[in-house]
Amino acid sequence: MTHICTQFTEIYATTAGAVYQCNRQNRLVLNFAGQVSVLKVDAFLRLVKAVHAIDLESMAERTDRASDLEIVSVCGCDRCFVLTMPELYAFKELLAGAKFSLHLNSMLHECLNPLFV
């Protein structure tokens, strides 16, 4: 039987979507372009790395028809993202903000944890 986490903590949100954290299942919930994907943290980090590696500048300079779309798929993600350049820009912003928030939260937890032990 699958249990659905009802307690989400918002990690980062933009007008394009949001990333939530479920501490109970140790998962991240990615809501982008009207679709929801549930990811383990390592799959989320692989997705961030794959999207970060895409060069938007060279994509904008190309004139061929295929340059308007980018397909992003990573192991551990149940979804294949087919994104236009504006969607890709918004997706990059969302993922980078969520990664920064997770990293900042981790650093704060490490700094404050010795005080409570």
- Give the rounded distance of the alpha carbon of 24 from its chain centre: 19
How many Å apart are CA 92 and CA 97, to the nearest integer? 8
Give pTM, 2 decimals: 0.84
Count of positions (residues) in the chain: 117
Q: Which residues have C-beta within 8 Å of that of residue 32, sequence separation ≥ 6?
A: 16, 17, 81, 91, 94
11-70 pLDDT, tens digit per residue, is 999 999 999 999 888 899 999 988 999 999 999 999 999 999 999 998 888 888 777 899
Residue 91 sits at the vertex; the CA angle it makes with 31 and 64, to the nearest 5 degrees, is 130
Q: What is the end-to-end Cα distance of the chain in Å, rounded?
A: 37
